[in-house]
Structure 1
Amino acid sequence: MAQKKEISAKLKAALDFGPLLVFFVAFFLFKDHPVELWGQSYGGFVLATAVFVPVLVASMAALWLLTGHLAAMQIATLVLVVVFGGLSIWFNDPRFFKMKPTLIYMLFAGLLGFGLWRRKPWLQLVMDGAIPMQPAGWTILTKRLVVFFLFLAVANEVIWRNFSDTVWVNFKTFGLTILLMGFFAAQAPLFSRYGVEGDKDEK
């Protein structure tokens, strides 16, 4: 198995969040300028999706080439983006792509919940073992993430079904990112209490 290589935090952030920012910019560039192709009119959302999908594929390919590794969450996200983004482009229907966050969060919640039932620490695989914690900490974090992912799935459904494309794009680009960052920031006491390094220091 190839050894994972480290890259700079700035480069990793650019590869992780760059495609999403490209989608955001493309949407607002094309929002009021639909394009006629093969007898159909493609609006800003579908055009932005058509830009986003290959950019994300290129970004993940670059990340894999540079590090020799992709996390399970990244692979699952990539597959769903290609499938549902492709459906939105093929059928000229934004709804497929808008459903993608709902499905991926439900998938993660289901897998983590199944892991809890089996008493398997699958969260360590999903998070790529980035946080050194005791088993009890992983169990608590997993339970919280299951609830949080279900909340995100419901929030995405409510927003895409009841609000405009512009509202959803802002929610997808900034809202979900802020919520995810806020969730993990709120877990600081958990990481401090169950962190392996802290546990060793106490001993």
Structure 2
Amino acid sequence: MYLEILDSYQHVIPGVSAISTSQADASCISSGISAALVAAFFLPVICRLVSARSQMHNAPSNAWFGSMKAFFDLFPVIFFFLAFFLSSHDPAHAAALASHVPVLSQVILAAQNSTPPKTPEQIAMLIATAVTMVASVIQLVYALVKWRKVDAMLIVSFVLIMVMGGATLYLDDPDIIKYKPTGLYWIFAAVLLFSQWVRGQNLMKLMMGKQMSLPEPVWNSVNYAWAGFFTVMGALNICIARLFSYSAWVNFKLFGTLGLTVVFLVVQGLFLSKHIADEPVHGDNPSDKD
């Protein structure tokens, strides 16, 4: 798309036709990253509008706001995906980012001077890691300003991104960041099991108990199912990271993870629907008094 725009400008601005393909590709990469950072700035505005609408229309808009909140939680993942694929077209031209996005200059220079030289996908992984760290900071600051508190899940994710992302950039090793999802999944699984076994608290019941009434054994099954799901997802992430290319792993990180989560939720919903249907309905029926 960017190249088509440049071609159309050739008939209007003298000298644009002299721009080489390499310069056009570099401009495309730079524009993509810049667009990602601009979108990071405008996302809080979108969330603010949705929040205002939620206050006006109550329940229906609360569901709408909930979906936007879910999108907000995926904010760093989406920008990792965008940054990776917008900067993986040609690693030699990614150096143009240094002059447009100063925060990436050291990342690109280190990748170019590394021994052995980085592959195109490895450079893209380093760029995406830096962009994700910036997006995570924006996400955390906005949550603090908007809601005056930060969810524990967001804090854990932020710490992992900062620690593993920082190690990725400092050691110039794009493989490190690939194991961040595994760490996050296994922390969630450990918390669910620890609360169940040690503290005697079912976290899934605490989170979902107001929406539905289930027998205690079913709540335990739900808790164990989520712990098992997170454990399997963490192990699957390691397999994808070790056996497949960077592009395959990034695709799995966004699309594969979302797809498997949807499948899990559907299966869980079918399981829970049987037990919800079996729950007795409380309250007096006037017809029963006749």
Q: Structure 2 length as normaliser, TM-score?
A: 0.59
Residue 148 of structure 2 is matched in structure 1 by 68
Q: What are the within-5 Å matches in structure 2 for residues 100-111 of structure 1?
A: 100-111=180-191
Residue 91 to residue 112, structure 1, CA distance change in 2 (3 Å) = same
Q: What are the within-5 Å matches in structure 2 for residues 1-203 of structure 1?
A: 8-31=65-88, 32-33=90-91, 34-35=94-95, 37=105, 39-41=109-111, 43-118=123-198, 119-124=200-205, 127=207, 131-134=211-214, 135-193=216-274, 199=279, 201=281
Secondary structure of the residue that 2:201 maps to in structure 1?
coil
- Which of 1 and 2 has higher RCO (CA within 8 Å, sep 6+)? 1
CA shift digits 1:143-200 (9 cap, x unpaired): 11121111111110100011111000000011112211221222113443555x9846
Q: Distance in 2 between matches of 1:45 and 1:191?
A: 40
Residue 12 to residue 193, structure 1, CA distance change in 2 (3 Å) = same
2:70 partner letter: A
1:181 partner letter: V
Name structure 1 gaps, 5 residues minimum: none
Alignment root-mean-square deviation, CA: 2.8
Q: Distance in 1 between matches of 2:245 and 2:184?
A: 21
Q: Percent identity?
A: 29
CA shift digits 1:23-59 (9 cap, x unpaired): 1111011112343855522600010110011112212
2:111 partner letter: S
Q: Distance in 2 between matches of 1:167 and 1:175?
A: 10
Stretch of structure 1 that moved more, 52-61 or 27-36 = 27-36
Offset of residue 64 of structure 1: 3.6
Residue 27 to residue 181, structure 1, CA distance change in 2 (3 Å) = same
Secondary structure of the residue that 2:161 maps to in structure 1?
helix
Offset of residue 131 of structure 1: 4.6
Secondary structure of the residue that 1:177 maps to in structure 2?
helix
Q: Distance in 2 between matches of 1:154 and 1:76?
A: 19
1:41 partner letter: A
1:84 partner letter: M
Name structure 2 gaps, 5 residues minimum: 1-50, 55-61, 99-104, 113-122, 284-290
Offset of residue 114 of structure 1: 2.0
